[in-house]
Amino acid sequence: MIRIEPIPAFKDNYIWMLHDGTHAAVVDPGIAGPVVEALDKRGLELTAILLTHLHYDHNRGVPGLLERWQVPVFGPLLNDHDRVTHPPFPEPGTVPLDCVSHVVGDGDIVTLDAPGLELSVLAVPGHTRGHIVFLERRRGWLFSGDTLFGAGCGKVFGGSMQDMIDSLDRLAGLPDETEVYCAHEYTLANLQFALAVEPGNAAVKERIEKESLKRGFGLPTLPSTIHLVRTRSRMKLKRNARSVWRTAHNSSSGICMTRSAMAASSRITGIVSRISPPCSTRISPRRSASRCR
């Protein structure tokens, strides 16, 4: 059996650790220390690293992890646009995405032997141009990075607004029960915004109470589900598109909420597009693991 555990990092990041009790893979390790601590605490051996996009809070921990475990790093291509918009950090030659040993893109499947996982790669441009997500179809797990959060979506940095809308439409086509493991604890903030748009919405109030209870015990609100996200978005579109806009523009929460609201209120109407059948690319995690420096 494979377990998924969150490793909290920074202010509100989650690094997701998937393990079978012996071997582990981690998603978006923005920092190495907490990951090393979590692995050591459970006696786990790291076998793979998965990266969704180039932002440093998702990959800055990679070089540190590679110093101890020489494992494959699966991630998107660091393109020229990314290099211009996200210059080397903290010094030239240390861009964490340069650590990617296995560049993957839409339709690829990452197959790990230990822990046993088969992860489909979906391209979801918008937050960044090269953002990808990893989907474990059989188990219904989606590692959505900064594209899809609990009750909201990510800021649009590198892609266009239309890119983000198309990407969200695509994710909305996944089965309702798909569990969404995103990279930030933003659920309550997003729900509070939803309540500002729809002050009388009992379902939102109820969910705020439920999620607040979890946070009160120090638990994550995640995973969310595609059903929850889609229902929320559909309500915004059909009943309150104008209200969303008005609230977003009057909101003190700034551009993040404004952009999220723009995307959410545009046309996330449910099943708009289905995921295309993946190609048969099979990538062995044991192959050509490399150091990034």
Q: State the catalytic residues.
A: 53, 55, 57-58, 127, 146, 184
Name the residue nearer to Fe ion (CB basis): 7 or 51.
Answer: 51
Name the residue nearer to Fe ion (CB basis): 144 or 201.
Answer: 144
Name the residue nearer to Fe ion (CB basis): 55 or 232.
Answer: 55
> 38: left (phi > 0), else alpha (psi -120 to 50), else beta?
alpha
Name the residue nearer to Fe ion (CB basis): 19 or 86.
Answer: 86
Least Cβ distance, residue 212 to Fe ion (angstroms):
25
Least Cβ distance, residue 127 to Fe ion (angstroms):
6
Residues in contact with Fe ion, shown as a per-residue x/- string from 190 to 229 under the rule CB under 5 A: ----------------------------------------
58 neighbors 52 (Cβ within 8 angstroms): yes
Query: How many residues in the shown chain lie near Fe ion by CB under 5 A?
Result: 2
- DSSP 8-state secondary structure symbol assigned to residue 99: G
Q: How far apart are CA 102 and CA 97, in angstroms?
A: 11
Residues in contact with Fe ion, shown as a per-residue x/- string from 97 to 136 under the rule CB under 5 A: ----------------------------------------
Residues in contact with Fe ion, shown as a per-residue x/- string from 45 to 84 under the rule CB under 5 A: ----------x-----------------------------
The upper half-sphere exposure of residue 213, i.e. CA atoms within 13 Å in the direction of its Cβ, equals 5
Least Cβ distance, residue 148 to Fe ion (angstroms):
12
What lies within 8 Å, CB to CB, of 67 at 6+ separation is none
282 neighbors 95 (Cβ within 8 angstroms): no
35 neighbors 29 (Cβ within 8 angstroms): yes
Least Cβ distance, residue 281 to Fe ion (angstroms):
25
Q: Identify the residue among 146, 163, 185, 198 touching Fe ion (CB under 5 A).
A: 146
Q: How far apart are CA 193 and CA 254, in angstroms?
A: 11
Least Cβ distance, residue 55 to Fe ion (angstroms):
3
227 neighbors 207 (Cβ within 8 angstroms): no
What lies within 8 Å, CB to CB, of 232 at 6+ separation is 151, 194, 204, 264
* Interface residues toward Fe ion, by CB under 5 A: 55, 146
